[in-house]
Structure 1
Amino acid sequence: MKLGTIRYQERPTVIARVADDKAVALEYRWMEDLIEAGNAGLDAAAAAIEAAIAGKFPIIDLADADWMAPNPRPSKILGCAVNNNNLNQYAVRPMTAPMFFTKGRSALTGHNKTIDILKDHGQSIPEPEPVVVFGKTAKNVPPEKVMDHVFGYTLTNDVTASGVKFSQDSIALKQRPEVIKPHHLAWRPKFEGEDTYLLFIYHSKSKGADTFASMGPWLTTKDEIPDPNALRVRGYIDGECYADDSTANYFFPVERVLSEATKWFTMEPGDCIHTGTASKGTEKHPRGNIGTYLHLYDGKLTDVEVEGLGRLSNRINLEK
């Protein structure tokens, strides 16, 4: 089943897909309400689809729909950073656990909306990836049980403004030798001579700016995706494919990512986790997403396509 949220008759409305471009309105205003209803919510959605097919409920034409993110009000959005073997081949030392960054709900935007890039963001890249949406509260859940807490999947363009990340939001501090502790240097090789430099990078502006978490259009229920670790993921810029990858290329499988998140954060119904970017390039775009600069394509479309989940389209809007 595919579910979504649109502005319909001037209010947010949860919908269920009846056909490719047709849907039926459900009794829920917010996706969390349906998720928290559990099986009763899914049964109500299935009944509404059947009623719409039978002509008993009105059908909504989605040709000009005002899309919102499938779940516009998650308590938290997490992203799993650098979770791709294509990127980790360059790691000085292998990661020991999934790394996370966060985005606020103000970063969310919907299908067919603009992705707004400020001049200060500078060089900005797309990151096409699946998103897991939790259906139950999850805390300290082991990998072998964490999928029991999943409601479904959507897809995102996790925009990253590396221009601002490595300028305004990075700082190297030369510390006094007595301040340096073993954990400060455990992640990198030691340098010759005085080795007291610490590098700090902050991700709020580069990852969580407005419109930098485009999602949708659909939230696909878990039963339709038998293996989240075997999904083809593609990214497009101005109609050309710049990344063609698979979640099988993740450094950490989806279950490990989700389980690790529940160690540090209480994941609540409707919460979202971006599970890892697609990075493997194509013949014309050999560097994949890290060589695709959105700020050079003002007014053009950028798309994310994930097997079984659909296609998300957004137009790039560069600050004038």
Structure 2
Amino acid sequence: MKLLRVGPAGAERPALLDEEGTLRDLSALVPDVDAGLFADESALERVRAAVGARVLPALDPSGLRIGPPVGRIGKIVCVGLNYHAHATELRVKVPAEPVLFLKAPDTVVGPEDTVLVPRGSEKTDWEVELAVVIGRTARYLETDEQALASIAGYAVANDVSERAFQMERGGQWDKGKNCETFNPLGPWLVTADEVPDPQDLRLRLWVNGQLRQDGSTADQIFPVAQVVRYVSQYMTLHPGDIVNTGTPAGVAMGQPEPKPYLRAGDVVELEIDGLGRQRQVLKEA
């Protein structure tokens, strides 16, 4: 299933995109696409049954905003330097263990919402990423099979980053990762049963129409299952939590000088096979 949330920011309602590409209203069946839905198998079965019975009312998508596909996110765990080619372009060693950092849930916006260039920014960067949405509590997982079984679905994420804030202003990475609007998510949550192999997905990103990133999750240093299992050793993952699994080569920071960092007016578009496409226009904060 392709689950999503539509409507004004803060007042989104649950919806579904069916196999014919018709937008369907889920609000009579479930209150939201969130931890409550992922943790309630009976609610998911009601949705599946309604899809099969073709009884869900259609929605007119004209002028309808698509919001983040997950509501009330608990936490966002991110993996840095998780693609071989990305580590190569930055001329850094492949990490021996996953590099983890956190993004605040309030960085999440819809897939076509405005991204704000922070005040004082000179090095705002892009990062197309596969986002994992947790569906079952994951705590001290022992196997990759357990890790995959804890995943509700997958989505497209843009892990927007301000490199000067991140790398040059002291402390950890938080200042460069948690500016407002720095985690566009969606358009859909595609349930895990529709993604048979998360290590066989193509990721691409364009800036002003120029292809900048073109990679595959096959290049991940730490595959999805290993990442989820690893994270569960250090923190509990709850339904509705997000894991951003890293970005392939092609970020601005890895380009020759002058590096093409983002400015107000730039247009970023990104997609992952089967998971949909995003488009953001940047503006000054």
Q: Does 1:152 align with 2:122?
A: no
Amino acid at match of 1:220: V
Q: How many angstroms apart in 2 are the aligned matches of 1:92 and 1:305? A: 26
Question: Could you say what the CA RMSD is over the residues aligned between the two structures, in angstroms?
Answer: 2.4
Contact 2:24/2:56 (<8 A) preserved: no
Contact 1:4/1:16 (<8 A) preserved: yes
Structure 1 unaligned regions, length at least 5: 171-200
Q: How many angstroms apart in 2 are the aligned matches of 1:10 and 1:209? A: 19
Q: Give 1:30 deviation, angstroms.
A: 2.5
Q: Does 1:257 align with 2:227?
A: yes
Number of residue-to-residue matches in the alignment: 278
Amino acid at match of 1:107: T
- Which has the higher Rg, Structure 1 or Structure 2? 1
TM-score by length of 2: 0.89
**Pairs within 5 Å for 1:112-131:** 112-131=112-131
Which deviates more from structure 2 when the two are superposed, residues 201-210 or residues 257-266?
201-210
- Percent identical residues: 27
Contact 1:24/1:49 (<8 A) preserved: no
Q: Give 1:99 deviation, angstroms.
A: 1.0
Q: What are the superposed Cα offsets for residues 105-155 of structure 1, whole Å, 9 maximum, x if unpaired? A: 110100210011113232111000110011100011134221011110011
Amino acid at match of 1:310: G
Amino acid at match of 2:156: L
Q: How many angstroms apart in 2 are the aligned matches of 1:247 and 1:310? A: 16
Q: Does 1:65 align with 2:60?
A: no
**Pairs within 5 Å for 1:169-208:** 170=170, 201-208=171-178
TM-score by length of 1: 0.80
Does the C-alpha gap of structure 1 residues 291 and 22 become closer, same or farther in structure 2, counting only changes over 3 Å? farther
Contact 2:8/2:67 (<8 A) preserved: no
Does the C-alpha gap of structure 1 residues 160 and 218 become closer, same or farther in structure 2, counting only changes over 3 Å? same
Residue in structure 2 matched with residue 178 of structure 1 by the alignment: none
Contact 2:268/2:280 (<8 A) preserved: yes
Q: Give 1:63 deviation, angstroms.
A: 3.1
Q: Give 1:233 deviation, angstroms.
A: 0.3
Structure 2 unaligned regions, length at least 5: none
Residue in structure 2 matched with residue 33 of structure 1 by the alignment: 36
Residue in structure 2 matched with residue 317 of structure 1 by the alignment: 283
Does the C-alpha gap of structure 1 residues 203 and 306 become closer, same or farther in structure 2, counting only changes over 3 Å? same
Q: Does 1:225 align with 2:225?
A: no
Q: Give 1:91 deviation, angstroms.
A: 5.2
Contact 1:78/1:102 (<8 A) preserved: yes
Q: 2:213 aligns with which of 243, 261, 264?
A: 243
